[in-house]
């Protein structure tokens, strides 16, 4: 078996899973097929990342901007997410995996909201992989919701203006208690953050690859981790 070179393993990897549509188009298949294969790639990614020693994985599954896609595609994505979350209930027990959702779930269908609440509750004590799915998520939206909660806390007297610090502000984030991502991977050649984890990515390292998401396998993950291992992390100054 091929040896993976010893390297520093990021504690938290966040992924912008891009290129499902192009992957399908290259095969003369509908976009929905690309999303299906993308969904399978998420499962493999979680297993591989965990086996390599990664503790937290966050995937960008549906952004606040994705609602502008054709209805048929939104329905496909929601259907896949429904099935995926259902599977997660079984898998999380077997693998001791905690699942949390980042994003404004209030806009999702009631059954999805129910499934999310159930999954979050049932897995809250599992201490294996800590897996976050960003769903109806936007970094600006998360910051704005945290601002509103901060203002409400000041208005009701539970927080003073002087007590507003990065730490107290972050407590109102969907990602509260989750460490900031050490490494953000974006597939398919695009080099943008696209409203993902805007606050949390302040000191993240970035890895961009031309590989399309459904093709992102363990070898590609190892390459990303190796790249990360060679970076000199800076948390202050430049
Ligand atoms: C971008 O590909 C990807 C998405 C819009 C969302 C990612 C969704 C999945 C991987 C499937 C469902 C997720 C889970 C967690 C079950 P794109 O359609 O923009 O690709 P393109 O840029 O090639 O058109």
Atom number in ligand 1 closest to CA 41: 10
Task: Tell me how far apart the alpha carbons of residues 163 and 147 are, in angstroms, rounded to a whole number.
Answer: 14
CA-closest candidate to residue 78, choices 120, 109, 102: 109
Predicted confidence pLDDT, tens digits, the chain (238 residues): 555 555 799 999 999 999 999 999 999 999 999 999 999 999 999 999 999 999 999 999 999 999 999 999 999 999 999 999 999 988 999 899 999 999 999 999 999 999 999 999 999 999 999 999 999 999 999 999 999 999 999 999 999 999 999 999 999 999 999 999 999 999 999 999 999 999 999 999 999 999 999 999 999 999 999 999 998 766 666 6
- Residue 20's pLDDT is 98
Distance (Å) of CA 11 to CA 30, 50, 131: 36, 10, 12
CA-closest candidate to residue 101, choices 170, 14, 186, 174: 174
Atom number in ligand 1 closest to CA 135: 15
Nearest CA to ligand 1 atom 24: 21
Task: Tell me how far apart the alpha carbons of residues 166 and 182 are, in angstroms, rounded to a whole number.
Answer: 18
Concerning whether 217 is annotated as a catalytic residue, the answer is: no
- Count of other CB atoms within 10 angstroms of residue 184: 24
| CA 6–ligand 1 middle distance (angstroms) | 32
| CA 216–ligand 1 middle distance (angstroms) | 13
Tokens of 208: 């961009």
Task: Tell me how far apart the alpha carbons of residues 116 and 102 are, in angstroms, rounded to a whole number.
Answer: 11
- Residue 234's pLDDT is 67
| CA 19–ligand 1 middle distance (angstroms) | 7
- Residue 232's pLDDT is 73
Concerning whether 96 is annotated as a catalytic residue, the answer is: no
Instruction: Determine which one of 18, 48, 141, 182 is catalytic.
Output: 18
């Amino acid at each position: 078996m091929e040896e993976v070179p010893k390297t520093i393993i990021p504690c938290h990897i966040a992924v912008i899973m891009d290129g499902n549509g192009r992957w399908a188009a290259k095969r003369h298949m509908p976009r929905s097929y690309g999303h299906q294969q993308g969904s399978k790639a998420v499962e493999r990614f979680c297993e591989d990342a965990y086996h390599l020693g990664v503790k937290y994985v966050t995937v960008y599954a549906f952004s606040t901007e994705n609602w502008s896609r054709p209805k048929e595609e939104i329905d496909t994505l929601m259907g896949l997410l429904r099935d995926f979350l259902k599977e997660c209930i079984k898998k999380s027990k077997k693998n001791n995996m905690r699942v949390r959702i980042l994003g404004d779930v209030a806009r999702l269908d009631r059954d999805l909201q129910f499934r999310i609440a159930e999954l979050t509750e049932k897995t809250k004590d599992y201490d294996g992989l800590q897996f976050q799915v960003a769903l109806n998520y936007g970094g600006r939206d998360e910051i704005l919701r945290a601002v509103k909660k901060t203002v409400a806390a000041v208005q009701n007297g539970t927080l003073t203006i002087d007590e507003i610090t990065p730490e107290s502000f972050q407590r109102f984030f969907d990602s509260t208690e989750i460490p900031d991502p050490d490494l953000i991977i974006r597939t398919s050649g695009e080099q943008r953050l696209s409203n993902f984890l805007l606050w949390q990515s302040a000191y993240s390292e970035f890895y961009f690859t031309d590989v399309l998401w459904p093709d992102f396998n363990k070898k590609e993950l190892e390459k990303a981790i190796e790249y990360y291992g060679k970076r000199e992390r800076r948390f202050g100054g430049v």
